[in-house]
Amino acid sequence: MIGAFWLTTLADLKPFVAALLPLQILWLLRRPEVARVSAPVLVVVLLLQRPGLPWVWSGPAVLLLIATWVAAAVRLHARGRQRERALAAAGGVTAGVPGADRRLERGAFLIGLGGVLTVLGAVLVVTSGLWQSGDDRLGSATVGCFVAGLGVTALASGVLGRRRAAALGRAPAPVLRVLVRDDAAADTEVFAADDVGALRPLFTVSLLDMDDDEDEDEDDVDGDGVVDEEELAALLKGLDTDVPGPLREAVLYGAPYDGAEVVVVSAAQEAGDPPLVERSTGPVRPLPEGAARRRIAAGKAKAGREARRQAVYEERRAVAVLAAVRDGGGPARRWSAGWLDRITVVAVVLWGCYALAGESGVWRYVIGAGLGLLGVCLLPGHLAWRITADAAGLWFRRLGRSRHIAWDHIRVVECKGTELRADSYRAGFEEWSVSGPRWPWLERKFGLIHPYERVAAEINAMWQDPALRPTAESGGPERGRGLWPVAVAIGVAWAAALVLLP
């Protein structure tokens, strides 16, 4: 959208042309069928507008559109070759698709979203003439065209996905034996049937169990209308881990190519359960050789990081054991914001001051009020966060009163990347998190341990071994009061600076 504004203002392009040019990148990545048609149309429009448009703008735009058209054509040609190879691998074996007679949900959400965005964009375009300023009229029309373009993209994705899914069930489909597993992103990786070492994923696809809707009321909810906590815990634990699931034998229905729809019947993960019948909820995404190598390398790097993290956790566990022996496991433990968090807050405040330095008039107060609101909501948690561990569990300092998680209700306490987070199985607890800067290469070079890693390691040691937990209850001063006084102080200081400073 920013690019569309820039093209409208500086290049003097028509709003719909300025909005459609940035959308070419989205269409190339998601809907090459659209890009193959839209790129030549926009080239013609730009050439017709050429008398009033300098070559410094039209030349690069035309070259970009030609490159987009070529890339879309190459991708669509690759789709055809992928489909031919899949059909050859099936060897002419076809079978009826399981669940072909069931109600088709594919594309419903995208069609609805696309309709809403298209109508919203049309309203913005139609009402653009109501603005008094010429720049505002152009801006409203450009935003409207861009939003409408996003709506058309969502509509096209929903309709194409629905048509392909419906076509898959109309006639016997090619059948392939494959191996599948769930990856850390909840997608399904598909391997060749003889790739028992999972060395080369062929493609990924998002799948949904066809029986989910029918079994929802019977399996997920008990007689009292309460969600089965054991099943919920197992699901959430799987989402929290970055380790791929086990390989399972499967039968794939449909020719897998870029953008295709498939149905997968795979062995259940637990013995005695019936096979899983899953339908794709998104297009097939092939993994070229380079992408597969990068994916495997990323997996190995992640495994290395996990091994280093476990070493840190074992070290901190030993520290926790020594502390428990020394102190008798009695007093409550506390972890709070340190120098890294305070440096982060100072950097954010300086950035906010820099953002306001060149503003004046009404815009100074509008931007300042927005930045101040963000600061009041976000900075107190970074400046004065505190976690307290006692016999009852963990206490987290928030804007209001402290929130509590019992030891048995902890779902996860981890440091992932730059974020330290904790969550509970209980629906009433809102996930707690805090983020700070991190430089992994610096940690590896000097053997440093990030403060958030220390906190997560020590809490996990207590969580996993009840003998290491404090035996005393914590009081209000130890848990810390609500952070709202800090938020008020930040808001007052920012408002005073906004009004008094030049």
Give one DSSP letter per residue of 191-206, joined into a string: EETT-TT-----EEE-
Burial of 408 (0-12, 13-18, 19+ CB in 10 A): exposed
For 310-320, write each residue's pLDDT tens digit.
Answer: 676 677 666 65
Is residue 488 predicted with pLDDT exceeding 70? yes
Could you tell me which residues come within 8 angstroms of residue 232 by beta carbon, excluding any fewer than 6 positions away? 425
Same structural domain, 240 and 361: no
Q: What is the DSSP string of 67-130?
A: HHHHHHHHHHHHHHHHHHHHHHHHTT-EEPPTTTTSPP-TTHHHHHHHHHHHHHHHHHHHGGGG
Same structural domain, 16 and 113: yes
This model's pTM is above 0.85: no
Average pLDDT over residues 161-183: 88
Same structural domain, 249 and 375: no
Same structural domain, 190 and 103: no
The candidate with the shortest Cα–Cα distance to 470, out of 337, 334, 315, is 334
Same structural domain, 143 and 20: yes
Q: Give the range with max mean pLDDT: 262-266, 463-467, 479-483.
A: 262-266
Average pLDDT over residues 145-159: 89
Domain coverage including residue 278: 173-214+228-287
Structural domain includes residue 299: no
**What's the confidence (pLDDT) of residue 321?**
60
Same structural domain, 96 and 179: no
Q: Give me the long-range contacts of 50-56 (CB less than 8 A, separation at least 24).
A: 52/12, 53/11, 53/12, 53/13
Structural domain includes residue 318: no
Paired tokens of 492: 């007052």
Is residue 16 predicted with pLDDT exceeding 80? no
The candidate with the shortest Cα–Cα distance to 277, out of 292, 262, 288, 299, is 262
Structural domain includes residue 267: yes
In whole angstroms, what is the distance from residue 4 CA to residue 146 CA?
A: 8
SS (H, E, C) 444-471: HHHCCCCHHHHHHHHHHHHHHCHHHCCC
Number of structural domains (the chain) is: 3
Directed axis angle between helix 361-383 and helix 339-357, to 10°?
Answer: 180
Structural domain includes residue 302: no
Same structural domain, 412 and 471: yes
In whole angstroms, what is the distance from residue 146 CA to residue 125 CA?
A: 10
Same structural domain, 90 and 183: no
Grade residue 111 by pLDDT with cuts at 50, 70 and 90: very high
**What's the confidence (pLDDT) of residue 447?**
72
Structural domain includes residue 297: no
For 277-318, write each residue's pLDDT tens digit.
Answer: 888 888 888 888 777 777 777 777 777 766 776 676 677 666
Structural domain includes residue 294: no
More confidently predicted of 65 and 480: 65
